[in-house]
DNA sequence: CGAGCTTTTGACGGTAGTCAACTGCGGTGG
DNA sequence: CCACCGCAGTTGACTACCGTCAAAAGCTCG
């Protein structure tokens, strides 16, 4: 896959690579035309860079064109919780887009590229392209079900289940957006990030990861997630696999 | 407040009581007219009754007219996680409304009353009333930030903080929808429900509740939540208080 | 080659889960 | 009318999972 680098030119919507991702529902000609006018620019985000900060009022709305990012909240005393991961096609800053300050930060796990849209023209989108508006609501609802699962994972799964669950979640989400290969998803999460996602301490995350490795359930190294027996992993994690209709994207 | 009972007639949208709730942004004449046609009926849900079950494909879309409900997920082995609470004006089944089977159940905490809308006419709403479509997206986004907070609570707060946090959350949410009085919110949560919300065992929930009672932080009895010193409780729970613009409702 | 980060390890303590039994309460039926 | 049942709440004992602390090892980068 030819990755765009920091210096590559802005991708016109007409050539949007997301149009050809198997897990995403392509836009119509008409919709692409509109999006081309709606799109204000593009933002390159370096791996590990923070794209948005908690508390700021963002004048923009974004969607992920390339790469993987995560949303996180930090408490005043420094405790951090990663709440969600953003894959290609996901919207960023919808919450903040409704005039209130952003209640979470956004950071890139991989090198990433996001489209920038104008917030003040957002209502217009609903007026002139109801289907796109519907899709926005659809995406928001989908994020919500994703959070539901994350929450039950943190609230009700054991440490091992949680880690296996997270590996599967990322793996499958990557597969739906064309990032996951046959058995591997190339993504570099630190153990601190894993810990902050599933609500464990770093030390215990480390020990649990080792146990999972020994048990041959998942192969999670510094730079990739490997799952050799998908079915076994799903059962181990008690992953709630669901038939997904292809996602829309903006 | 005059509560409607099971036998009271269906409330026409023109007289929608939510129009006068301080925390909600009233609909315009025009919007009410549309909603009146969009509304298909009303559903009375007895206290403790399950309104929707996990796994079903719901042909409808709902919004809460009166009462408080919660959404929950259950794992195959019975572990349960309450993911969200639904107060007047909240939408129910948005996730499921997008064609996929519902991934959570919905149960009423109090006697409740919900409006029933037709799912197949949902897209039409976006076409003819963009502002309402926008509001749907807004509500979904808001639910998401609510889940964000819930997730950081379960993932990163101590048991005491979690319970105090939940009390505050319900208390304030009730206040925004006119349910909370000066110092009390009349709502009957069992300790099992509290436990399933914050990811603790029942026993430990019980002991933590007692500790909080002794410490005089919150007064949480079988049928109501009392908070005497709001500021103190907020600090204790490390509650992330945010100025909220009035919610739209559908 | 050293600074700084991530990962790893071991020891220890505390928070939270499990088990089991008992209390209290409202509802039901004999 | 009251015994009995079932459910919610409570208690204590024991266990184990997980967090904290501290230190070392491995890596990457300047």
| CATH (domain of A163) | 1.10.10.10
Closest C-alpha among B209, B140, B103, B150 to residue A154 = B150
Closest C-alpha among A169, A197, A196, A186 to residue A222 = A186
Closest C-alpha among A39, A43, A38, A44 to residue A127 = A38
Which residues are CB-neighbours of B124 under 8 A, at least 6 positions away? none
Closest C-alpha among B94, B36, B85, B91 to residue B63 = B91
CB contact under 8 A, A151 and B81: yes
Distance in Å from C27's C1' to A42's CA comes to 66
B71-107 in b/e form (b: 16+ CB < 10 A) is: bbbbeeeeebbbbbbbbbbbbbbbbbbbebebbbbbb
What pLDDT score does B6 carry? 58
pLDDT tens, residue by residue, B229-247:
999 999 999 999 988 888 9
Please give the residue range of the domain that contains residue A87: 15-125
Same domain, A99 and A199: no
d(CA A16, CA A24): 12
Average pLDDT over residues B63-75: 96
Separation of first and last alpha carbons in chain B:
22
Average pLDDT score, chain A? 92
Please state which of the ranges A61-75, B1-15, B32-46 shows the lowest mean pLDDT: B1-15
Helix (H) or strand (E) run with residue A132 in it:
helix A130-156
Q: Which residue is nearest to nucleotide C19 (CA to C1')?
A: B203
Indicate whether A39 belongs to any domain: yes
What does the block give as tokens for A136? 């926005």
Asked whether A203 and A209 are in contact (CB, 8 A), the reply is no
What pLDDT score does B94 carry? 86
pLDDT tens, residue by residue, A191-220:
999 999 999 999 999 999 999 999 999 999
Domain end (from A125, A158, A176) = A125
B191-198 vs B130-156: helix crossing angle, rounded to 10: 90
- Comparing CB atoms, the residue among A77, A84, A156 nearest residue B199 is A156
Q: Is the pLDDT of residue B86 over 90?
A: yes
Beta bridge partners of B42: B115
Distance in Å from C9's C1' to A214's CA comes to 17
Strand D contacted by B187 CB (< 7 A): no
Same domain, B100 and B184: no
Confidence of residue A6 (pLDDT cuts 50, 70, 90): low
Of A4 and B248, the one with more pLDDT: B248
Asked whether A83 and B148 are in contact (CB, 8 A), the reply is yes
Q: Is the pLDDT of residue B48 over 50?
A: yes
DSSP state of A99: S
Indicate whether B98 belongs to any domain: yes
Strand C contacted by B200 CB (< 7 A): yes
Same domain, A165 and A212: yes
pLDDT tens, residue by residue, B164-192:
999 999 999 999 999 999 999 999 999 99
Tell me which chain B residue has its CA closest to the CA of residue A162. B155
Domain end (from B126, B159, B184) = B126
Same domain, B173 and B73: no
Average pLDDT over residues B58-64: 88
Confidence of residue A17 (pLDDT cuts 50, 70, 90): very high
Separation of first and last alpha carbons in chain A:
22
Same domain, A163 and A115: no
Confidence of residue A56 (pLDDT cuts 50, 70, 90): confident
| CATH (domain of A101) | 2.60.120.10
Same domain, B31 and B105: yes
Residues of chain A with Cβ-Cβ distance to B83 below 8 Å are: 147-148, 151-152
Confidence of residue B3 (pLDDT cuts 50, 70, 90): very low
CB contact under 8 A, B154 and A154: yes
Q: Is the pLDDT of residue B33 over 50?
A: yes
Let me know the angle formed at the C-alpha of B238 by B159 and B215, rounded to the nearest 5 degrees.
60
Beta bridge partners of A66: A113
Q: Measured on CA atoms in the order A155, A106, B104, B46, is the torsion positive or negative?
A: positive
pLDDT tens, residue by residue, A134-180:
999 999 999 999 999 999 999 999 999 999 999 999 999 999 999 99
Same domain, B99 and B155: no
pLDDT tens, residue by residue, B198-241:
999 999 999 999 999 999 999 999 999 999 999 999 999 999 99
Indicate whether B228 belongs to any domain: yes
Confidence of residue A1 (pLDDT cuts 50, 70, 90): very low
d(CA B193, CA B149): 18
Q: Is the pLDDT of residue B97 over 70?
A: no
Distance in Å from D30's C1' to A49's CA comes to 20
Tell me which chain A residue has its CA closest to the CA of residue B76. A238
d(CA B85, CA B107): 10
Same domain, B154 and B108: no
What pLDDT score does A5 carry? 56
Name A residues 202-241 whose Cβ lies under 7 Å from strand D. Answer: 202-205, 208
Name A residues 188-247 whose Cβ lies under 7 Å from strand C. Answer: 190-192, 202-203, 206-207, 209-210, 222
d(CA B242, CA B240): 6
Same domain, B108 and B209: no
Q: Of A156, A236, A246, which to mutate for an interface test with B (greatest number of B Cβ within 10 Å)?
A: A156
Same domain, B20 and B76: yes
Indicate whether A116 belongs to any domain: yes
Confidence of residue A2 (pLDDT cuts 50, 70, 90): very low
Which residues are CB-neighbours of B184 under 8 A, at least 6 positions away? B224, B225, B226
Closest C-alpha among A211, A218, A202 to residue A167 = A218
The A39-45 sheet, strands edge to edge: A39-45, A112-118, A60-66, A91-92
Same domain, B115 and B64: yes
Tell me which chain B residue has its CA closest to the CA of residue A81. B152
Q: Of B57, B137, B146, B247, which to mutate for an interface test with A (greatest number of A Cβ within 10 Å)?
A: B137
CB contact under 8 A, B141 and A140: yes
Backbone angles phi, psi at A15, to 5 degrees: -105, 20
Give SS3 for A51.
Answer: strand
Helix (H) or strand (E) run with residue B69 in it:
strand B69-74
What does the block give as tokens for A98? 């409704």
Asked whether B105 and B50 are in contact (CB, 8 A), the reply is yes
Distance in Å from C23's C1' to B196's CA comes to 24
Tell me which chain A residue has its CA closest to the CA of residue B162. A155
What pLDDT score does B125 carry? 93
Same domain, A20 and A115: yes
Asked whether A173 and A187 are in contact (CB, 8 A), the reply is no
Domain end (from A125, A141, A168) = A125
Considering its fold, how many domains does chain B have in total? 2
Quote the pTM value.
Answer: 0.94
Q: What is the DSSP string of A20-42?
A: G-TTBPPPPHHHHHHHHHHEEEE
């Amino acid at each position: 896959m030819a990755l765009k680098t920091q210096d590559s030119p802005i991708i016109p919507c007409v050539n949007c690579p997301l149009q050809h991702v198997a897990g995403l529902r392509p836009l119509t000609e008409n919709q692409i035309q509109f999006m081309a006018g709606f799109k204000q620019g593009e933002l390159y985000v370096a791996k590990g860079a923070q794209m948005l900060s908690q508390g700021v009022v963002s004048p923009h709305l974004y969607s992920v064109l390339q790469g993987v990012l995560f949303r996180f909240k930090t408490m005043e005393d420094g405790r951090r919780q990663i709440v969600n991961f953003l894959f290609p096609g996901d919207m960023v800053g919808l919450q903040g887009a409704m005039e209130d300050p952003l209640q979470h930060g956004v950071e890139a796990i991989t090198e990433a590229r996001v489209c920038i849209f104008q917030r003040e023209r957002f209502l217009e989108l609903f007026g002139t392209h109801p289907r796109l508006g519907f899709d926005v609501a659809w995406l928001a609802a989908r994020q919500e079900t994703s959070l539901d699962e994350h929450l039950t994972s943190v609230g009700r799964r054991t440490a091992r289940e949680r880690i296996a669950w997270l590996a599967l979640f990322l793996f499958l989400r990557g597969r739906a957006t064309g990032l996951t290969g046959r058995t591997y998803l190339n993504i570099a999460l630190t153990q601190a990030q894993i810990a902050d996602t599933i609500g464990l301490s770093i030390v215990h995350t480390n020990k649990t990861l080792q146990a999972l490795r020994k048990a041959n359930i998942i192969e999670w190294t510094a730079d990739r997630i490997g799952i050799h027996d998908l079915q076994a992993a799903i059962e181990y994690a008690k992953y709630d696999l669901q038939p997904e209709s292809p996602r829309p994207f903006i």
